Structure 1
Amino acid sequence: MATVLALDIGNTTTRFGLLDAASPSSEVTLLGSCEVTTHTPLTTDEARIQLKQVLSELPVPQDAPLEGAILACVVPTLTDVWQRALAAVAPTRPLTVGPGLRSGIKLRFNDPSEVGPDRIADVVAARAAYGAPAVVVDLGTTTNFEAIDQTGSFYGGIIAPGVALGARSLAEAAARLPIIELRAPGRVLGRSTREAMQSGVVLGEAARIDGLLDAVLDELAGAGDKGRAGRQGDAHASRDAQADVPVILTGEHAAAIATLLRRPVIVDDALTLRGLALLWQSNQR
């Protein structure tokens, strides 16, 4: 067993995961995880105290003490803080996802350095578990789409406001609109302000994901180059190709949104953490 601590620092939440990443050929297993609110600013001492509290609660095996740590951070002001905090508890130099770290994934981006570390972890884990092509939808502060093409490359993606951010923006921008609970209403046409907002925010998010998935899968299949008004055979081929591509949902709202989508999807709550452990694995040689 090779016990690895993975940290996924997001704009809203920070997730800690303890994983068994014994060897490149073994399946990475999540041993335990916990999630806290991301605080900024944060001192190194505060981060170190938080780490010790987390490690005291996670199931670190007695016969396999912590062997390494890896960090994905989308908040630039917190990267150095968490690097120093991890260095105090990890027996080896903590790794940080970014330029210089091997991922084994070709990034088809104009500037690969712009790609968020959590998105790279998602793609690494999705390709390892579900093959290629595949599409990941990560529902957090933002709703991110990550498309993996037939060659296993990170083909491209989409970044949109997340469902909680949309609800909060409505309440902040319009004086008479309340803060709502993020759940689907019983009907599309709301009969109260709260129902109407829930329909627009929650059902609207599901409809947006459905519509974007159609376009993403169409483009991955190559149908986008032919145009949507092509021959009937092309339309059938596009639908067949779409049906074969796994769609993986992860993130805070994945399970709730998955039940509202038209197409079958896979909910994988541990995707990002497993991807971080796989990145740690591939950089040990």
Structure 2
Amino acid sequence: METRETSADLVAQPLWSMTRGLSPLVGTAIHDGHFLHEDVAALMALSPDDRLREEDPFTAAFIQDLGNRVVVHRSRFEVDLNRPREGAVYLRPEQAWGLDIWRERPSTARVEAILRQHDGYYEMLHALLCDVQRAHGRFILLDIHSYNHRRAGPGAPPTAQADAPDINIGTFSMDRAYWAPVLDSFMACLRRQPFPGRQLDVRENVAFAGKGEQTRFVHARFPGTGCAIAVEFKKIFMDEWTGEPDPQAIEALRAAIRASLPVLEAALAAMPGGKTP
């Protein structure tokens, strides 16, 4: 499914968009973006379809019901905001699933200019979370991603269910014992939610452990007050090879997150010292 981008699209598309609400819950979709800056696109060997396969399309839909949300519109192949700054621009195939990314490698100066997006994003995120913390005392950030489970090819068997839960919860950088009331309530709620033909398989640290930069940043900057949960949806809501979405599945997963919001707010307020939203 070829995605065509005009020069006007590439220049006009914002880096990210942020919506501020009244809740202590924040949702982010930092790999949802697909656009590239025009001069980056000119250097890249990857086709839009190849990029899309490793991006997280439609994840912005899953956080539409959160009052506080951030959606990144630029591709992770321009800058990956879930990597540390020094590795946020993929320059070698081993940084990006073995893919040969560049027809012409960007200059050092261009890479540094791209990395200013990384700096700006985390400055914005820190300011947002400080504001939410001032209002509520504590907050929860749902760091929404997706992952492939048909890497062997469109006609090959998918990754075994034992190794690929429908929703993988990553908790590597958090104080798991401290945030247990929040995590356990969240996961139990998601497991109760219907999905076409079955219930959702929700497990912790199976396909991924939640070692990304954003959750690490939150737990380092907001110890004891910020709970960042890495939420990886298996791409059961789309065809990861063609990019074709499954609207029914997308709506079911959005509804699952929506159902979890009052559960998360209640768990957060019940913690010692918690505020009522």
**Given the two structures, how large is their TM-score scaled by the length of structure 2?**
0.29
Structure number with bigger Rg: 1
Larger relative contact order (Cα-Cα within 8 Å, sequence gap ≥ 6): 2
**Given the two structures, how large is their TM-score scaled by the length of structure 1?**
0.29
The structure richer in strand per residue is 1
